[in-house]
């Protein structure tokens, strides 16, 4: 969909996307929500909305990354596969993806982003400097950082396998490492912006709460003023007497048979 420039930055895209997704989720005829050839801006919008929805509906709370596994599973030998099934609960991930009707690649990216957000910022910013011990590290965060990078490498390799197999092994490893580094940077950017959006939303909510409190105080003061006959506006008259001044023609004058009824020019608001 298209949001015109004059209407951008007002959350119209977010509301429209979420409305469409809610419609798709409620339809039994739709099993998966996909987007064909999205641009970068739409990818960001989809990431924000999907991440917020999976956080709110409790999906992310069910996903956990292993904290410790035998180091023999991660030996650097040709043919040794990443023990994905022991790092994550794959049947649970499949169930959650189907339930939320998210495409496999999009769901994998959201899970990676969520698991990355659980790691300490210092660990994430260290890059590969803290991975010298890999799975043998005594630090739990360092081990999980190593496990997380393996999961991302595995997804990147599977997606680009045909291209990577045309490269020499050393060059292939370097290319995957470079891609994972770029992916980490992109996730950090999205997480940072989502944090900023959340802070702005909370500030607006607090501001609305303060405004509501001020309005309640004004209403209370006005009620007290009406009740006690207090001159609340400083004009020397009670608010409860406002609006009651009317020009009244004496009924007795009409009964006396005055030749012509008096024309009264009322003072009011100019049209």
Question: Which residues does the annotation mark as catalytic?
Answer: 36
| Residue carrying the six token digits 């999976």 | 54
102 contacts 32 by C-beta, under 8 angstroms: yes
88 contacts 151 by C-beta, under 8 angstroms: yes
**Nearest-angstrom CA–CA distance, 35 and 101:** 12
**Nearest-angstrom CA–CA distance, 130 and 268:** 80
**How many residues would you count in the chain?**
271
Which residues neighbour 114 within 8 Å (Cβ) at sequence distance 6 or greater? 51, 54, 55, 60, 63
Q: What DSSP assignment string belongs to 105-156?
A: HHHHHHHHHHHHHHS-HHHHHTTTTT-SSGGG-S-HHHHHHHHHHHHHHHHH
Helix (H, G, I), strand (E, B) or coil at 225: helix
135 contacts 71 by C-beta, under 8 angstroms: yes
Which tokens is 200 given? Answer: 């702005």
């Amino acid at each position: 969909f298209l949001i015109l420039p004059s209407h951008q930055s007002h959350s119209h895209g977010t509301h429209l996307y979420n409305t469409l997704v809610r419609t798709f989720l409620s339809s039994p005829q739709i099993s998966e929500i996909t987007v064909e050839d999205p641009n970068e801006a739409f990818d960001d919008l989809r990431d924000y909305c999907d991440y917020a929805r999976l956080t709110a509906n409790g999906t992310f709370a069910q996903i956990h990354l292993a904290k410790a596994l035998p180091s023999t599973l991660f030996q650097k030998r040709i043919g040794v596969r990443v023990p994905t099934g022991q790092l994550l609960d794959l049947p649970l991930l499949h169930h959650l993806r189907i339930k939320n009707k998210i495409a496999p690649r999009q769901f994998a990216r959201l899970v990676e982003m969520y698991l990355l957000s659980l790691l300490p910022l210092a660990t994430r910013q260290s890059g590969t400097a803290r991975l010298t011990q890999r799975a043998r590290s005594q630090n739990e965060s360092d081990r999980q950082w190593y496990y997380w990078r393996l999961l991302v490498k595995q997804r990147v390799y599977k997606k680009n396998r045909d291209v990577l197999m045309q490269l020499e092994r050393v060059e292939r490893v370097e290319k995957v490492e470079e891609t994972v580094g770029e992916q980490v940077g992109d996730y950090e950017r999205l997480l940072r912006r989502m944090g900023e959006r959340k802070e702005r939303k909370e500030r607006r909510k607090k501001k609305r709460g303060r405004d509501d409190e001020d309005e309640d105080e004004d209403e209370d003061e006005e009620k007290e003023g009406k009740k006690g006959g207090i001159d609340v506006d400083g004009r020397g008259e009670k608010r409860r007497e406002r609006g009651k001044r009317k020009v009244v023609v004496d009924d007795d004058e009409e009964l006396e048979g005055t030749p012509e009824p008096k024309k009264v020019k009322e003072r009011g608001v100019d049209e």
